[in-house]
Amino acid sequence: MLKAYKYRMYPTKEQEEKFFQHFGCVRVIYNWALEQKIKTYEQDGKSISRFSLNKMIPELYEDKEWLKDVNSQSLRGATLNLDNAFTRFFREKKGFPKFKSKKNPVQSFSVPQYYKVDFDANKVRLPKIGWVNTKLHRRYTGIEKTATVSKTPTGKFYISILVDDEQELPVKSIFNEKVTVGIDVGIKDFAVLSNGEKIKNPKHLKNSIKRLAVLQRRLSRKQKGSKNKVKARLAVSELHEKIRNQRHDFQHKVSSKLISENQAVALETLNVSGMLKNHCLAQSIADASWSSFVTKLEYKAEWYGKTILRIGQFEPSTKICSVCGFHNGKLTLAVREWKCPECETNHDRDINAAINIKKFALDKQNLIGI
C-alpha cells in the first residue's frame, strides 16, 4: 500500500539557491520535452517516448552546461511527469499539457532515489544539495519510493516521500442498510446525512473574503517590481494558504469520522465543473470544495476496507418522496421544506435527498430491506 508523508524543510540560503536551480532546470527539460513531443507528432504523426527523450538529454549538456549542476535523475523525472500529464489528457480529458513558467508560484522537482532520511537528526540528504534540516514529525516503515521537493507561494519548502509499507489493502467489509450512510453535499450545510445529522458549512473563504479584498487592493496599488509589491503579494498568498489549510483540516476530520463510523458511504455523482459556470454560486461551490472531500473519502475507504457507493448524476434524489416515491417535479432550489401530497409526510429537502441517495445506491447492490 502506497502512502505519502509530507514534511516541512528548512534549507540554508545556499541550499535554497540549489533548490531554485533544480526548479529551473527541471522546468527547462519539461518544456523542451513537450516541444519535442509536439514537433514529432506534427512531422511524423507519432509520439516520442520518454525513454527516447531521456537518451537525448545528455546532448543538451553541450549548449546548457549548467544542467550538469543538478541531479540528473530529477531531470529525467520531468519527462515522467510529462508522460503522466499526457496520460491524464487522453484518459481523463484533463486538458492538453502546458509549458511551465518560472513565474508559477508553485515549483517542484522529484528525487527518484539516492536520498536519505535521518529521523534522529531531523535531516534529509538530497543528491547535489546535501543534508537539509527537516521537521520529521512522523516516522514511517517500508520501501522509500520517489521524493518530491516543492515550494509554496508563501516561500515554504516541503518534501513529500512516497512509501510502500508492503501491506495489502484490507478486504472490503460486508455492509447492509444499517451500516450505510447516504450523504448529500450542499452549500447551506456542508453535508447532510441520511440519519438526519447536518454538518455545518464553515465557509472559510467567505469568512476571510473582506480581509482578502483589502490585501488584494493593497497589492494592486504597489509599484511593479518594488519590494513592497513582493511583500503585498506574500500577504495575499499567506491568507490563501491559511484558508486552504482550514479547509483541508475540516475535510480530513469529517471524512475520517464518516469512514470510521460506517461500513459504506453512498454519494451522488456531481458535475462540479459544470456547476461552477453558475456565477451566482461559483464562489460558494469552490469554497465547499466537494471534489476534494470526495477524494479524501475514497482513499480513506481504500485504507480501511470500507465501500464507496455512487449513484448517477441525473438521479432525482431531491424531488422524490423517500417514503412513498411520489415525484415532485415542481420543486425549486428555493424550497427547503415540502409536504408530500400523497402520504402527507413533511420533508426537509436535504435529509430527504440523503435518504434517497442511500436507497438508490443500495438498490443497485440489491441490498434494500436486508
Please choose, from the candidates 149, 82, 164, the residue with its C-alpha nearest in 3D space to the C-alpha of residue 109.
149
Q: Which of 268, 287, 298, 363 is catalytic?
A: 268
**How many residues does the structure list for the chain?**
370
Q: Which residues contact 20 (CB under 8 A, 6 or more apart)?
A: 107
Please choose, from the candidates 197, 233, 210, the residue with its C-alpha nearest in 3D space to the C-alpha of residue 358.
197
Q: Which of 177, 298, 350, 363 is catalytic?
A: 350
Rounded to an integer, what distance in angstroms lies between the CA atom of residue 52 and that of residue 41?
Answer: 14
Rounded to an integer, what distance in angstroms lies between the CA atom of residue 286 and that of residue 290?
Answer: 8
Q: Which of 184, 241, 298, 302 is catalytic?
A: 184
Long-range CB contacts for residues 141-144, cutoff 8 Å, separation at least 24: 141/165, 142/166, 144/115, 144/117
Other C-beta atoms within 10 Å of 279: how many?
A: 7
Helix segments in the chain, DSSP class H: 13-44, 50-60, 72-92, 204-221, 227-261, 272-275, 282-288, 290-304, 349-364
Please give the grid coordinates belonging to residue 107: 515549483
Residue 184 a catalytic site member: yes
Residue 287 a catalytic site member: no
End-to-end CA distance of the chain: 33
Residue 363 a catalytic site member: no
Q: Is residue 183 within 8 Å of 354, Cβ to Cβ?
A: yes
The DSSP letter of residue 188 is S
The amino acid occupying position 239 is: L
Q: Is residue 163 within 8 Å of 143, Cβ to Cβ?
A: yes
Q: Is residue 236 within 8 Å of 216, Cβ to Cβ?
A: yes
Q: Is residue 153 within 8 Å of 106, Cβ to Cβ?
A: yes
Active site residues: 184, 268, 350
